[in-house]
Amino acid sequence: MKKIQLTGLALATLAVCAPAWAQSTVTIYGAVDMAVGKDFQVDALQIRPGKTGLQSASRVNLQDSYVGFKGVEDLGGGLQVGFQLEQGLDASNGIADPEGAFARGANLWMGGGWGRLTLGRALTPSYNAMAAWDLMGAGNHSVAINTFGGVGFNRYKRQSNQISYRTPQLGGLVVEAAYVPKDDNMFEGANRSKFDLGAVYKSGPLTVGAAYNKVSGQEANFATGAKYQYQNFEFAVGYFQARNGQFYDDVTYQRVTNGVIGTNGVTLGAKASWDRFSAGFDIARETKSEYTVGSSRFDSKKQTNFVINGTYALSKRTQAYVNYLRWAGVNNYGVGLSHSF
C-alpha cells in the first residue's frame, strides 16, 4: 500500500493558510495476479470448457487484480471516518470489471471504541466470517468458495446498499450484522430485504466462525467452521448450507431456466509452511444436492472437489504459486505470480 503524500512546501503552506483540521490520509492499494493455466468458464447460459492460456480473475488465480483508494480522517476523541473505492480489472487485457466502476467496494464508514458503522457496497459479514476460517483465505482458488460460494453462492459475497455494524473485540469475539432495505435490493426480479450476520472468535491458535444470511422470501444460507494452527501446520473444517444458486445441467452444462440449486456439504483440509514455502490441500464434499424447477424438486449429482496449492514468497508483497483445482469433474490449473501493493 502506498500513501499519497504532500510535499514539505505544500504542508508548510497549508499550515500557515488553513486552520487546524483533523489529520487524514489517503492510500492507494491493490493487486495484480496473473497465471498461465486452464480454467472452466461459467456465464449466464452455460459452463464452457476452459482453454490453456493467460488467466486473470479466474478460479486458478490466488486473487483478483484490482486497484483501490481508501481514506481515514481522525476526528479526535477516538472517532474516525473513512471511505473505500475499489475497482476490479482483468490484468490480461486491462478491461475493467463489467459489474461497475467500483463493484468491489464503494462505501463510507465511521468507527471508534464502540465499533464501526459502514454504509454502501462492501463484503458481507457472512463472507468475512467464512474467510476467517477458510484454509485458502476464501481466495479465488478456495474449494469452499467454488463449491458453496460466499455463503450462499457468489452473489452473496458483496452487497450493494448495505448498512452494517461491527462490534469491537469482546474477549476475542467480533460480531458483524448487516441489513439491506427492500427497496434497495433487487433479487430474482423482485425487491426483497436482506439480513446478513457473521461472528468470529479467536483464541490463540484457534479460530471459530459462523455465518448466516437470508433474503426475504428465500431460503437461508448458513456456514460454520474452525481453523487450528499447530507449529508449522494449519487444519480447517467447515460445514455449509447454500441455497438459491443458478442450476446447470450435469450432462449438457446448459443453464436450466428457472432452475434453482441448493447444496449442503463439508470441507476438510491442512496446510504446512516452511520458511517462505507453503503447501495445502482442501477437499469439499456435497452431502446433499438438489434443484427445483417451478414447484418440482429433483436430486442432483453430488460433487467432490479439491484444491492443491503451493506458494513461495518472493517478498512480503509478491508470491509465486501453483494451483490445481478439481472442480465439477474437470481439471483446472494455474502457475502464476501475485503482487500486492
Instruction: Give the residue extent of every domain in the chain.
Output: 29-340
| CATH tag, 29-340 | 2.40.160.10
Of 249, 322, 190, 287, the C-alpha closest to 42 is 249
Mean pLDDT computed over 185-205: 94
Q: DSSP H helical segments within the chain, as ranges?
A: 8-17, 125-133, 143-148
Local confidence band at 11 (pLDDT 50, 70, 90 cut-offs): very low
Q: What is the predicted pLDDT for the residue at 339?
A: 99
Mean pLDDT computed over 121-127: 97
Residue 331 β-bridge partners: 326
Q: What is the predicted pLDDT for the residue at 154?
A: 58
The full length of the chain comes to 341
Residue 51 β-bridge partners: none
**Is 276:265 a contact under the CB 8 Å cutoff?**
no
Asked whether the predicted pLDDT for residue 14 surpasses 80, the reply is: no
pLDDT digits (tens, 9 = 90+) for 55-105: 999 999 999 999 999 999 999 999 999 999 999 999 999 999 988 899 999
Q: What is the predicted pLDDT for the residue at 200?
A: 99
Mean pLDDT computed over 169-197: 94
Alpha carbon distance 238, 266 (integer Å): 5
Asked whether the predicted pLDDT for residue 140 surpasses 60, the reply is: yes
Mean pLDDT computed over 115-142: 97
Local confidence band at 252 (pLDDT 50, 70, 90 cut-offs): confident
Name the amino acid, one letter, at 187: F
How many other CB atoms are found less than 10 A from the CB of residue 224? Answer: 18
Q: What is the predicted pLDDT for the residue at 1?
A: 58
292 burial (CB, 10 Å; 0-12 / 13-18 / 19+) is: middle
Alpha carbon distance 308, 218 (integer Å): 34
Mean pLDDT computed over 107-123: 98
- 201 or 292: which leads in pLDDT: 201
Backbone angles phi, psi at 231, to 5 degrees: 55, -115
Cell numbers for 88, please give them. 476490479
Cell numbers for 221, please give them. 444460507
Place of cell 500500500: 1
Mean pLDDT computed over 313-334: 95
Q: What is the predicted pLDDT for the residue at 172?
A: 97
Cell numbers for 334, please give them. 494455474
**Is 35:58 a contact under the CB 8 Å cutoff?**
yes
Mean pLDDT, rounded, of the chain: 90
Local confidence band at 8 (pLDDT 50, 70, 90 cut-offs): very low
Mean pLDDT computed over 279-295: 92
59 burial (CB, 10 Å; 0-12 / 13-18 / 19+) is: buried
Mean pLDDT computed over 257-261: 80
Alpha carbon distance 71, 40 (integer Å): 37
Lowest mean pLDDT: which of 36-45, 110-119, 256-265? 36-45
Alpha carbon distance 220, 92 (integer Å): 37
Place of cell 480522517: 73
Place of cell 500557515: 16
Q: What is the predicted pLDDT for the residue at 13?
A: 46
Name the amino acid, one letter, at 218: Q
Backbone angles phi, psi at 16, to 5 degrees: -80, -40
Place of cell 467496494: 105
Q: What is the predicted pLDDT for the residue at 23?
A: 83
